[in-house]
A and B are shown apart, each in its own frame.
Chain A
Amino acid sequence: DQQVKQNSPSLSVQEGRISILNCDYTNSMFDYFLWYKKYPAEGPTFLISISSIKDKNEDGRFTVFLNKSAKHLSLHIVPSQPGDSAVYFCAASADYKLSFGAGTTVTVRA
């Protein structure tokens, strides 16, 4: 039973435009949320996180929004760049461990 869901397996966006990635969760005990980026044959790298006491966190081109009542978070990348082409994983935590979604493959077109 997957507690973190990314329902869009892929996203294609033009360079310079906004990428919006979505994530839903079912466990109301989750209090910390993260986004990771992964290139093929490499480990995931941390991008940005948000605590459940906030509804927005921004870091450069990356912004994460949290809607606790809807159990939904999103990652905005503005502007999208070719190097952003990767798999993005949403993750959530209630204790020691992180639960991950299935990932969204982002392709940025020139």
Chain B
Amino acid sequence: DVKVTQSSRYLVKRTGEKVFLECVQDMDHENMFWYRQDPGLGLRLIYFSYDVKMKEKGDIPEGYSVSREKKERFSLILESASTNQTSMYLCASRGPGLLNTEAFFGQGTRLTVV
């Protein structure tokens, strides 16, 4: 059974804190993604990575950075958390390459910034 695992289900952080969201997949997928889900806006792509140490900005990268040092792990970093980053964060993986396949999602991290 394929698995994408996010390190936390719920997080509460203070404004200005540095926040790390971790994601691990066990499918040997090249492509990994970070989305955020907000009511009425659907899933919006923050960053994605198509290979180790490779990353590309998605539609809303401001205030975020990412790290992919190993194929199975993709981290999202909020350098200085702000209240407008309160959201549901979803990690996904997809592979291989450009073949038409579905993406698999983790269970999500509900982040609240106070």
Contact = CB atoms under 8 A, between A and B. Distances in A.
Given A41-B108, A44-B90, A103-B42, A97 B58 contact: yes
Q: How large is the interface on B (under 10, 10 to 19, 20 to 34, 35 or more residues)?
A: 20 to 34
A93 B48 CA distance: 14
B92 to A, nearest CB: 8
B33 A44 contact: no
Contacts of B104: 46
Interface string A34-45: 101000011111
A89 interface: yes
B100 A31 contact: yes
Contacts of B112: none
A28 to B, nearest CB: 17
Interface residues of A, number: 27
Contacts of B92: 43, 98
Contact of B43 (A9, A44, A93, A95): A44
Contacts of B50: 96
A102 B107 CA distance: 19
Interface of A: 2, 6, 9, 31-32, 34, 36, 41-46, 49, 51, 89, 91, 93, 95-103
